[in-house]
Amino acid sequence: MPNAELHPEPFTAKTDPAALADLRARLRATRWPDAPDDAGWTLGTDLDYLRQLVEYWAEEFDWPAQEARLNELPRFRAQVGGRGIHFVHARAVTPTGPVLPLVLSHGWPDSFWRYAKVIGLLTDPGAHGADPADAFDVVVPDLPGFGDSEIPTGPAPNSIEVAGLWAELMDGLGYARYGAAGGDIGSHVSRYLALDHPDRVAAVHRTDAGLAVFNGNPADLTPEERDWLQGGAAWGAAEGAYAAMHRTKPQTAAFGLTDSPAGLAAWIVEKLRVWSDCAGDLESVFSRDEILTNLTIYWLTGTIGSSMRMYNANAAIPPAQLARRVEVPSGFAIFPGDLVRPPRAWLERTANVVRATEPARGGHFAAFEQPELYAHELREFFRPYRGAR
């Protein structure tokens, strides 16, 4: 039975029309920067593309329709560890075997939005051409300071602390044993769930292994691991400026990004493009409405600053925590368009790997970019752990 301490309340988002009017006014009043001729995306977000996106956001985007679609999901709020947490809790539909609960953890720059397309595929696989025996109960929380979860008034929690919150949430929902999956920050949260609650987590699935941290003798690494470490350093030099800002001075960026929706769009859209498997054509993977749904969630909840502050919290995690090996059965799906793609040797060094795949398509936001492929990966990986204890 659910823990009596948890009192989930149904949650329905309903935006004040005045907030939408203010958003449109700000978009129409955008003060645009200059850009060198033919700069394109080489220096960051492309000016011409963003002008078109902002015009569509201001004049055509139907947020109430998108909000209504998100409200079709079974959404709740509850006090978890003294924090107001928003989450989707979708139960398996007509299962034909043991149901494994699954907690899915998102990352930055998104929210529960990351998993919106995949929830139905996981709770009702029979309706999508898959085996009904593979149905999950699915829980998708918003990290504290993201989406519709409460913005922390003090320091942001780190991934270890959030893993503790998720363990409390799952206990409160009546789940003594469950699977965990995630990517980006959600990969770290899922990892710490497995590390700190191995008696509860049946298995853990991740779409990345994080950025490599290795303080040992490089001679102990395989050539592939050494190449990956060097590639990660090169990626950080070329693409990691955003993360350095988030880790060190997130409040400085938060002023502009909280005040200007065009600025917010520039900060996030460039990451959607670079991190997805879109070959430079962002709208081949995300429709404009999908992009703007993610952006509008950030804008209306005012969570860009609080979401960035989690990088600062995670940067203070002791190296000894980062070096722990996950002994819970672990699976990885390393999608081709993701940021950094660790070799199998590194995965096995850091986790008890029982399955590692490289799907044909998809990037950092695989659950949204390729929901069918992502759902297939989860069904295949977690199948042996449904009835086992």
CATH number for the domain whose boundaries are 9-385: 3.40.50.1820
pLDDT at 104: 99
CB atoms within 10 A of CB 222: 14
CA distance 256 to 251: 9
Residue 2 tokens read as 């659910």
Given the residues 86, 188, 364, 376, select the one marked as catalytic. 364
Give the whole-angstrom CA distance, residue 131 versus residue 139: 20
Nearest to 108 by CA among 287, 302, 307, 312: 307
Q: Which two tokens stand for residue 202?
A: 């049946």
pLDDT at 48: 97
In the residue annotation, 311 being an active-site residue is answered as yes
Residue 184 annotated as catalytic: yes
Which of 104, 166, 164, 92 lies closest to 133, judged by CA? 92
Instruction: Say whether 106 is catalytic.
Output: no
At 387 the pLDDT is: 75
DSSP of 254-307 = HHHHHH-HHHHHHHHHHHHHHHSSSTT-GGGTS-HHHHHHHHHHHHHHT-HHHH
What is the token pair recorded at 87?
A: 């989450």
Q: Which of 178, 192, 298, 311 is catalytic?
A: 311
Strand order across the beta sheet in which 351-357 lies: 9-10, 75-80, 83-90, 136-141, 100-105, 178-182, 201-206, 326-333, 351-357
Q: Kindly report the number of other CB atoms within 10 A of residue 79's CB atom.
A: 15
Compute the distance between CA of residue 302 and CA of residue 300 in angstroms, rounded to an integer.
6
The whole-model pTM stands at 0.96
**What is the pLDDT averaged over residues 212-225?**
85
pLDDT at 389: 47
110, 184, 208, 338: the active-site residue:
184
Q: How confident is the model over 101-133, as pLDDT tens digits?
A: 999 999 999 999 999 999 999 999 999 999 999
